[in-house]
Amino acid sequence: MLLGVDTGGTFTDFVLFDGQSLRLHKRLSTPQAPEQAILLGIQEMGLDPAKLTIIHGSTVATNAALEGKGVRTAFITNRGHGDMLTIGRQARRELYNLQPTLIEPPIPAELCLETGGRISADGQILDALTNTDLQQLQQQLEQLKPDAVAINLLFSFIDDTAEKAIEAIIPADVFVSRSSAILPEYKEYERGISTWLNAWVGPLVEDYLQRLRNDLPATPIAVMQSSGGTIAADQAGQLAVHMLLSGPAGGLAGARFIGRLAGRKQLLSFDMGGTSTDVALIDGDLKLTNEGKIGPYPVAVPMVDMHTIGAGGGSIAYIDAGGLLQVGPESAGADPGPACYGRGGTQATVTDANLVLGRLRPDAFLGGKMTLDIDAANSAVGKLATQLQLSTEETAAGIIRLANEHMSQALRVISIQRGVDPKGFTLMPFGGAGGLHVCALANALGMNQALVPIQGGVLSAFGMLVAKRSRELSQTIAKPLDKIDSNALEQQFQTLEQKALAALTNEGINADQVSLQRSFDLRYCGQSFSLNIAWQAPTQCQADFHQAHQQRYGHQLQQPIELVNIRLHAHGPANQLDIPPLNNNTHGSPQHAQLYGIDENVMVINREELAAGQQINGPLLITENVATTFIERGWQCLVDDYGNLLLKQVIRLDVIDLPVSV
């Protein structure tokens, strides 16, 4: 039996596939010890851990990086470059602020160690690593007593001999992260940050996964990576930097699977949870980027290409110094959570606003397992209403409009600002709160179709089940494309393939089951940024690059093309997951409720009572165990064979016919 588990900031989600059907569960997270929520969830579901295989999306690495709670880490680099990570790219958060707030460097100066082992861009030794250098490093590490060490020497992706020599003298009880193993690519700052992040949070991830494995000794456990593939838990700790988008990547894997099931391959997704909203563009396969960020730090390892904002169901609404209503990015989290959770929260959140407006049903939350406190929500929103001199309902509506504006802007960043018209895509909401906002966001973007997936409230956990074991490997080449020796290039690809096959076969996957996909990072000579192009014959690669550059930037250049990096995506077979079709052929009996801003009573239908082929017009509320969907007036809902809700706009209510002046 497969159990997908996604540990979020507010809830921990569970999806069980027993070979024939899916079973869902949701419980509040335990942020101080995330494994406790997993153990409690397994117990609440009545499952035998010995009969499970767990695929887990963890936020341990993400939270540690965002909260600045990594371990004591030493950074070793070449002489004269100890301040590499402090200087960075000299990018300023506020370009015209003459008195910016001082930002602490990622690593204190006393933990930055300099040594030999420097080579040039063509691999020539400029400053040899001597025995004296190694002895000095040993003495410095004995005095500093770090918990982890990050090694980042210049051009180590060409020759990693010096880095391996340094790694060999570091005590066995100290976590080691070597740049030539973590990210063998050019750009010493981005490579250094990724290597440091891996060392900084690695011991925490390793310790967490070890605790989880100790608590579930008979259960095989895999962990979702930021690239959308999984890795065995006993290897994940050493590659913690690859887990920074673990949960969100699971959501995109699930979105792609459900989209294909419903015949929709072009998706604009938004995952609205309790703390944040992640938006992404899916056009067939998941898009990866090596220009991601976690907080203020660039992360150059491959990860799903998404944009994240601090707008979720738990986002706190407040009045700013100018007397204006604001929403987020601060969140009420899981403890105490929104005021309506009845756990001591007193500040108004997006969830409280939806409850005040009637869009959440107090007795239908989590399938009735958790009753929402409507009085607490009215009290929290009412405090803001008093300051704004508005009614409680008007204030709640304002909170929702602001949250929608934040999310629609994020969706524009991932689509319109990249040269993609969202009107040709299908909007797919998921996460516990996504379905409440889908129609409003589609209206804002001019989109006329949406897809509310089955298991949408726990889609990240569902995505864990359909993800493949995978590895993402790369190597910097940095040569003009027309000067590349094809035989040498083939040898370099084969080296990456051997590493990928060794890693995946070590996890029990047969070599003949591994699929290998090659690609190039290309750019015009003189540019700083590249575009990833699928591997083909050089002539076709050039044509594909010109076309991709035209779409992304709006122009092409008559410049030579440079091959920057080669990349290899290797993955095993997907789990066999056959979603059973709906077996409900009878329509349920709807209830009715009064929602703010809607004159007539609105139907409230339990999603489990919907039948395949059923068609309903909004306004409408559809409740389920893990989410609620609000379908606005002007939208039509069709239930497909698997229970997905296919939404179509049939009337645009925001178009007003104005009289023509004569």
User: What integer pLDDT is reported at residue 343 of this predicted model?
Assistant: 86
Residue 531 contacts residue 548 (beta carbons within 8 Å): yes
Residue 625 has pLDDT above 90, yes or no: no
With a CB cutoff of 8 Å and minimum separation 6, the contacts of 133 are 115, 116, 117
Give residue 241's pLDDT band: very low, low, confident or very high (50, 70, 90). very high
| CA dist., res. 430 & res. 576, Å (int) | 23
Q: How many CA atoms lie within 13 A of 185 on its CB side?
A: 26
Specify which residues 640 forms β-bridges with: none
Residue 659 has pLDDT above 50, yes or no: no
Dihedral over Cα of 541, 547, 551, 554: its sign: positive
Count of the separate structural domains present in the chain: 3
pLDDT, tens only, 305-352: 988 887 888 889 999 989 999 998 888 876 788 999 988 889 999 999
Do 309 and 439 fall into the same domain? yes
Answer whether residue 344 is part of any domain.
Answer: yes
Question: Cα torsion at 415, 307, 222, 235 (round to 10°)?
Answer: 120
- For residue 498, the domain's CATH number is 3.30.1490
User: What integer pLDDT is reported at residue 588 of this predicted model?
Assistant: 66
Boundary of a domain, candidates 151, 181, 200: 200
Give residue 213's pLDDT band: very low, low, confident or very high (50, 70, 90). very high
**Mean residue pLDDT across the chain:** 90
Residue 605 contacts residue 621 (beta carbons within 8 Å): yes
* Continuous segment of H or E residues that includes residue 649: strand 645-649
Answer whether residue 65 is part of any domain.
Answer: no
Residue 554: strand, helix, or coil? coil
Question: Cα torsion at 171, 175, 176, 177 (round to 10°)?
Answer: -170
Reduced 3-state DSSP string for 505-526: HCCCCCHHHCEEEEEEEEEECC
Answer whether residue 624 is part of any domain.
Answer: no
| CA dist., res. 595 & res. 247, Å (int) | 33
Phi, psi torsion values for 596, nearest 5 degrees? -60, 135
Do 555 and 412 fall into the same domain? no
pLDDT, tens only, 393-418: 999 999 999 999 999 999 999 999 88
Answer whether residue 175 is part of any domain.
Answer: yes
Answer whether residue 45 is part of any domain.
Answer: no
Residue 516 has pLDDT above 80, yes or no: yes
Do 289 and 174 fall into the same domain? no
Do 84 and 189 fall into the same domain? yes
pLDDT, tens only, 114-173: 999 999 998 999 999 999 999 999 999 999 999 999 999 999 999 999 999 999 999 999
| CA dist., res. 78 & res. 639, Å (int) | 61
Residue 63: strand, helix, or coil? helix
**Containing structural domain, residue 502:** 469-571
Phi, psi torsion values for 639, nearest 5 degrees? -90, 120
Q: Is 621 exposed, middle or buried (0-12, 13-18, 19+ CB in 10 A)?
A: buried
Specify which residues 517 forms β-bridges with: 569
| CA dist., res. 219 & res. 54, Å (int) | 7
pLDDT, tens only, 489-502: 999 999 999 999 99
Neighbours of 384 (CB within 10 A): 21
The answer to which of 99-108, 438-447, 611-620 has the lowest mean pLDDT is: 99-108
| Structure tokens that stand for 304 in this block | 């799903």
Do 290 and 432 fall into the same domain? yes
Residue 524 contacts residue 562 (beta carbons within 8 Å): yes
Answer whether residue 517 is part of any domain.
Answer: yes
Do 394 and 304 fall into the same domain? yes
Do 651 and 561 fall into the same domain? no
pLDDT, tens only, 539-577: 788 999 999 999 888 899 999 999 999 999 999 998 878
Do 442 and 311 fall into the same domain? yes
Integer CA distances (angstroms), 466 to 12, 201, 244, 255, in order = 18, 27, 19, 10
Integer CA distances (angstroms), 380 to 9, 143, 338, 603, in order = 21, 53, 9, 27
- For residue 152, the domain's CATH number is 3.40.50
Do 148 and 187 fall into the same domain? yes
pLDDT, tens only, 576-598: 788 878 877 666 678 888 899 88
**Radius of gyration of the chain from its Cα atoms, rounded to whole angstroms:** 26
Intra-chain end-to-end CA distance of the chain, in Å: 72
Do 424 and 528 fall into the same domain? no
| Structure tokens that stand for 381 in this block | 């929103």
* Continuous segment of H or E residues that includes residue 635: strand 635-639
Do 97 and 196 fall into the same domain? yes
Answer whether residue 10 is part of any domain.
Answer: no
User: What integer pLDDT is reported at residue 591 of this predicted model?
Assistant: 87
**What interhelical angle do 459-466 and 246-261 show, nearest 10?**
80
Concatenated DSSP letters for 221-249? EEEE-TTS-EEEHHHHGGGGGGGTTHHHH
What burial letters (b/e) apply to 479-494, b meaning 16+ CB within 10 Å? eebeebeeeebeeebe
pLDDT, tens only, 413-434: 999 988 889 999 999 999 888 9
| CA dist., res. 520 & res. 454, Å (int) | 36
Answer whether residue 610 is part of any domain.
Answer: no
Boundary of a domain, candidates 153, 184, 200: 200
Do 278 and 187 fall into the same domain? no
Specify which residues 469 forms β-bridges with: 230
Residue 228 contacts residue 470 (beta carbons within 8 Å): yes
Boundary of a domain, candidates 556, 571, 586: 571
Give residue 603's pLDDT band: very low, low, confident or very high (50, 70, 90). very high
